[in-house]
Amino acid sequence: MQGTSINLLSLDRSAMENYFLDMGEKRFRAKQLLQWIYQRKVTRFPDMTDLSKHLRQTLQQNTNLDLPEIVSQQRSTDGTFKWLLRLKDGNCIETVYIPESERGTLCVSSQVGCSLNCTFCSTARQGFNRNLEVDEIIAQVWIANSVLESPKQESNESGSIEKKPENCFVSNVENQRRPVTNVVMMGMGEPLLNFDNVVSAMRLIMDDYSFGLSRRKVTLSTAGMIPAMDQLRQQCPVSLAVSLHAPDNALRDKLVPLNKKYPIGPLLDCCRRYVGENNRRRVTFEYVMLKDINDSPEQARMLARILRQVPAKVNLIPFNPFPQTRFERSEAETIDRFRDILLAKNIFTVTRTTRGDDIDAACGQLVGDFVDRTSRSKRMQQQTGVFS
Ligand code: SF4
């Protein structure tokens, strides 16, 4: 829209208060505006009727509430939604909504691609373009809530409208419950490499005048950026998930190359600091189950040993294959055996149900559509190693 105008979706409450104070307006204008945007879902300034005409005109001239364009919306047979969103620079990102009986979880992207290079991850193969702005992060939640609350919220790949899903949280919209009850920063990208924008967006997601989600319902998933995890603990201690995927450094170095910089020992120390001395919360450890790579009983015992000192929950994620990967998903019995070993060692463990795999919306499958500035996508096509 207006080239130099400020997108108000990029301002959290304190930034918006400062914006209004600088204009000579009262601080409470920020609350009013947040309510219009996030609770009433109004993005046209003329419709914001409790603002003075003069203020509405000023906002119209100097700001915007531009949202990414929905390029496509797919719905899985299990009710999972995936959106491909085009950003202002033409790059596209993906966002996934996973409805369950008691909650609806939105998996939000934080970067266009990812600059890390986890070898089992489809996003990693696409390379990296840039960090997302605050408005591009928060817009994913805004769009998901708005689309899912709309009576015409169902559409298939070709964009045609279908009936509402049954047996999923979307059906509860009539009972005034927001479709998005939980947000996980677990889509494309490493959120802690986009720290300031992600923290601002999470603050907005938790703001009572916006979506009002509690800290427990907002989870940030990291590959293990230790210094930024400490910063997060001090500045915005949301629920924490760590992509662990291996019980020892030799294997984790290969699966999650960031491990060479931040190995398992210091990472677990950092997790202990995160939960604090009173152990009120648990860290969720994500562990993708890769056949004959990290799924043996000995590796389960090793994992139980290293997690003994951390209040931990383990999510076992059956690997979701993607084109050109050499990894395979562990057998169901292997995953059950792995889980039972952890449970026997008193490590709370669940196997995550694979959702949305018919629309490539499952964990580790998000790819978007963007210009890779790292050339990694090209290099990947040429690699033939065991972990490519
Ligand atoms: S698993 Fe996460 S951190 Fe690792 S490459 Fe994929 S998106 Fe990036």
Distance of CA 87 from the midpoint of ligand 1 (Å):
20
- What percent of the chain is predicted at pLDDT more than 70? 87
Alpha helices in the chain (DSSP H): 13-22, 29-34, 53-62, 122-126, 134-149, 195-206, 226-235, 249-255, 264-275, 297-307, 332-344, 376-382
Find the 230 Cα to ligand 1 centroid distance in Å: 20
Instruction: From 108, 121, 285, give the residue whose CB has the most ligand 1 atoms within 8 Å, as the site to mutate.
Output: 121
Residue ID of nearest Cα to ligand 1 atom 3 = 190
pLDDT in tens, 43-96: 999 999 999 999 999 999 999 999 999 999 999 999 999 999 999 999 999 999
Ligand 1 atom nearest 189 alpha carbon: 7
**Residues 6+ positions from 103 with CB-CB distance below 8 Å:** 169, 181, 182
Cα torsion 180, 238, 138, 91 to 10°: value is -110
**Considering all CA atoms of the chain, what is the largest pairwise distance in Å, rounded to the nearest integer?**
69
Statement: 69-382 belongs to CATH 3.20.20.70:
yes
Mean pLDDT of all residues belonging to the chain: 88
Tell me the CA end-to-end span of the chain in Å, nearest whole number.
42
| Per-residue pLDDT at 32 | 96
- How many A from CA of 165 to the centre of ligand 1? 30
Ligand 1 pocket test target in 108, 193, 194, 243 with most atoms within 8 Å of CB: 243
State pLDDT tens for residues 176-188.
467 999 999 999 9
Mean pLDDT of 227-253: 97
Is 370 buried (19+), middle (13-18) or exposed (0-12) by CB count in 10 A?
buried
Atom of ligand 1 nearest to the CA of 222: 3
Ligand 1 centre distance from Cα of residue 256 (Å): 8
Check residue 157 and give its pLDDT.
Answer: 43
Per CATH, the architecture of 9-64 is what? Orthogonal Bundle (1.10)
Q: How confident is the model at residue 11 (pLDDT cuts 50, 70, 90)?
A: very high
Residue tagged active-site, from 107, 121, 271, 363? 363
Catalytic residue among 94, 133, 190, 286: 94
Reference 318, options 327, 326, 308; nearest CA is 327
Q: Which atom of ligand 1 is nearest to the CA of 117?
A: 5
What's residue 48's pLDDT? 95
| 373 CA distance to ligand 1 middle (Å) | 16
What residue owns the CA closest to ligand 1's atom 4? Answer: 118
Predicted pLDDT of residue 153: 52
Amino acid, single-letter form, for residue 356: G
Please tell me the least confidently modeled range out of 48-57, 160-169, 194-203: 160-169
Ligand 1: residue whose CA is nearest its atom 7: 189
Residue 165 pLDDT more than 60? no
CA geometry: angle 151, 152, 158, nearest 5 deg:
165
Domain with CATH 1.10.150.530 in the chain: 9-64
Ligand 1: nearest atom to the Cα of 256: 4
Ligand 1 site residues, Cβ closer than 6 angstroms:
114, 116-118, 121, 123-124, 188-190, 223, 243
Give the pTM: 0.89
Question: Rounded to an integer, what distance in angstroms lies between the CA atom of residue 177 and that of residue 320?
Answer: 31
State the pLDDT at residue 309. 87
Position 210 confidence tier, pLDDT thresholds 50, 70, 90: very high
363 a catalytic residue: yes
Q: Which atom of ligand 1 is nearest to the CA of 114?
A: 8
* Lowest mean per-residue pLDDT among 132-136, 274-278, 361-365: 361-365
Residue 308 CA to residue 306 CA, distance in Å, equals 6
CA 131 to ligand 1 centroid distance, Å: 14
Among 272, 175, 261, 287, smallest CA distance to 229 is for 272
